[in-house]
A and B are shown apart, each in its own frame.
Chain A
């Protein structure tokens, strides 16, 4: 087989047994691999009504066919389950080196079922699958877990090549805002997965191996990779902005358009102060890190030193500056950096927990609750309050327990559901939908809640990479959103990162896919697969009770205009766009995929 290893590992934690299965090649052709195939396998095997934290829920770790082959940015492993935060499907994309190593360890996919009686680590190292008792790991941060496990291997050469993905204390305590972390990377997408892993008593997965991967036409493949690298190197965003600052370069651009939210999406920052990309270099010593096979290397790492917090972590990205920073009123980069480091150590999802904190802060601001009651000084702009909350939340003690239930439940528990700024239970990523209409439509319709990493519309709406598209316009947005949702599904399923879309066109990936896998798809074929995946996810959610009536943004964004700044006066006009979006998808006017929906044959049986 080309690209794929061709094998899946199934681990039953209840029985402590595992088996090796052959990859279903016909489904791999229809769903590619990665996210798509994981969704297919998950929705075939698990009931949509499954309690996310029960032993019946499953976790599917799935690396795409291009991962590890040397395809540019082929590093992404998708993790699919039913989310403890949103009750929809959850899909995390873990980058770094875990996904590639999982394939070198011999598996395209690892399916985890059941629940272990006491904590375990799943170790897939050099062909040996073991469930290692992990009581001594319980309660430890993700980086401690990693180094302790590597130490336990007893051989430094093996340890150096082993990659560990784990949950932190947040996942162990079943916090819905928990996520998984590998190699101190901030998790992207998929809040609610950490708790599922915690409920299974699975602390970590470690992988290492020596399996070779095959590409169909090596000479052609090398040429295509060369061409793509040249293209990436000649586009400003992928050759300069991203390698220099990572996604933080977006902060200034988004703010210029009034997109960066402030204080729980009430307003926008007027001046950036010291949080723009240029300030990063003053605040941190930047070290670039690339995911496996990535020429862009947008990850910046650094050492953090701040009063009582010290450690290594990721320099703030756009996402953490928005969610843990401006949307909580904080504009001090070193606090934001420490907060994102704490998220990675505790295993908290920055978007989810950022939303929780912003909600709590607005509850305080609106005098629904007092700081004395909360016992943590959570007021907009107080960075220390955030750091304290992040360390306490995973203890689930006292008031932290209330905070730990996630933003939506927190707002509901004070009878102020209107203060929850999110969709389908997922707090919004830092893009104010009033100032970027396409992203707003995506937030409303996304299968995973309001997360921008499932449709990168800002590549056109803010960065104007392909076309100059006005962020405040609604015209043409349904088609744009559909394109980015489908394209992202394809790239996630192949195991590629979507950031290169800042320098490449989607169609540029076609020869890469074909020369690697030995197939002859064109751009439309791939986008059809993307659509099939999107519909399959939608079908699962509908059967799980999350349907068209949930395709809605918080009222604030549809009714209250942005009070100030460049987007002053804008509201989200999402309801105007939804009918056209459903029509383009070939769905009913209630948002249900029809069996014969265009390009999505077979959705009926998914």
Chain B
């Protein structure tokens, strides 16, 4: 099954993927807050996060981890379309968003507009 592989080291934070997703889901509309992929910025680095399902069970992501001396907030990188974090709640409708692997096959819209190689389509 094809998947989107994320290499955050390549991400330039340009947010072109956010607009690609928005334009594909809402007619003629560019708005990062209507996108199912969002770019998290942390310590001047960028982390693409693609929204996924939110299960209303005890959340296990609300903690910090340390890698190479930098502290990361796992909540920021969690892909759940969760009510705690407004990132994947659609701005104008309040609907929680979830990636539906859109776009003209084989390229999902966000991958097509990501020029840095941070998003890549891979076959498992």
Contact = CB atoms under 8 A, between A and B. Distances in A.
Interface of A: 2, 68-70, 97, 100, 104, 156-157, 160, 184, 210-218, 221-222, 225-226, 229, 232-233, 243, 287-297, 299, 301, 312
B45 interface: yes
Nearest to A295: B115
B44 A212 contact: no
25 contacts: A70-B113, A160-B76, A210-B33, A212-B30, A212-B31, A212-B91, A212-B92, A213-B30, A215-B28, A215-B30, A217-B28, A218-B29, A221-B28, A222-B20, A222-B23, A232-B115, A288-B116, A289-B12, A290-B14, A290-B16, A292-B14, A292-B15, A293-B14, A293-B15, A296-B115
Given A157-B85, A301-B44, A288 B28 contact: no
Contacts of B53: none
- The prevalent SS among residues of B at the interface is mixed
B28 A218 contact: yes
A297 B115 contact: yes
Contact of A212 (B10, B34, B41, B112): B34
Nearest to B28: A218
Contacts of B73: 156
B28 A287 contact: no
A19 B27 CA distance: 31
Nearest to A232: B115
A96 to B, nearest CB: 9
A70 B20 contact: yes
7 A-B pairs with least C-beta separation:
A290-B14, A70-B19, A295-B115, A290-B12, A210-B91, A297-B12, A218-B28
B16 A293 contact: yes
Given A290-B14, A294-B14, A294-B16, A68 B44 contact: no
B59 interface: no
A104 B28 contact: no
B23 A104 contact: no
A310 B112 CA distance: 38
Contacts of A297: 12, 14, 115-116
B4 to A, nearest CB: 18
A227 to B, nearest CB: 12
A104 B32 contact: yes
Contacts of B109: 222
Nearest to B14: A290
A291 B91 contact: no
Interface in B12-61: 12-16, 19-20, 22-24, 26-34, 40-41, 44-45
Contacts of B10: 288
Given A213-B29, A213-B30, A214-B30, 7 more contacts: A69-B19, A69-B30, A70-B30, A212-B31, A214-B28, A293-B19, A295-B14
Contacts of A232: 115
B16 to A, nearest CB: 5
A24 B110 CA distance: 35
Contacts of A68: 19, 30
A70 B14 contact: no
Contact of B92 (A104, A210, A225): A210
B14 A226 contact: no
B15 A221 contact: no
A322 B90 CA distance: 46
A157 B116 CA distance: 25
B29 A295 contact: no
A213 B32 CA distance: 10
A534 to B, nearest CB: 30
Contacts of B20: 70, 222
Contacts of A296: 115
Contacts of B16: 70, 290, 293-295
Given A212-B92, A218-B23, A233 B29 contact: no
A225 B13 contact: no
Interface in B44-88: 44-45, 73, 76, 85-87
Nearest to A291: B14
A317 B45 CA distance: 20
A184 B13 CA distance: 14
A69 B26 CA distance: 13
A296 B14 CA distance: 9
Given A70-B23, A293-B16, A297-B14, A104 B31 contact: yes
Nearest to B103: A222
A233 B115 contact: yes
Nearest to B16: A293
Contacts of B15: 97, 100, 292-293
A207 to B, nearest CB: 13
Interface in B96-120: 109, 112-113, 115-116
A297 B109 CA distance: 19
A395 B24 CA distance: 52
Contacts of A292: 14-15
A226 B114 CA distance: 11
B92 A221 contact: no
Contacts of B22: 70
A213 B14 contact: no
A155 to B, nearest CB: 9
Contacts of A100: 15
A294 B14 CA distance: 6
B73 to A, nearest CB: 8
B31 A211 contact: yes
Nearest to A211: B31
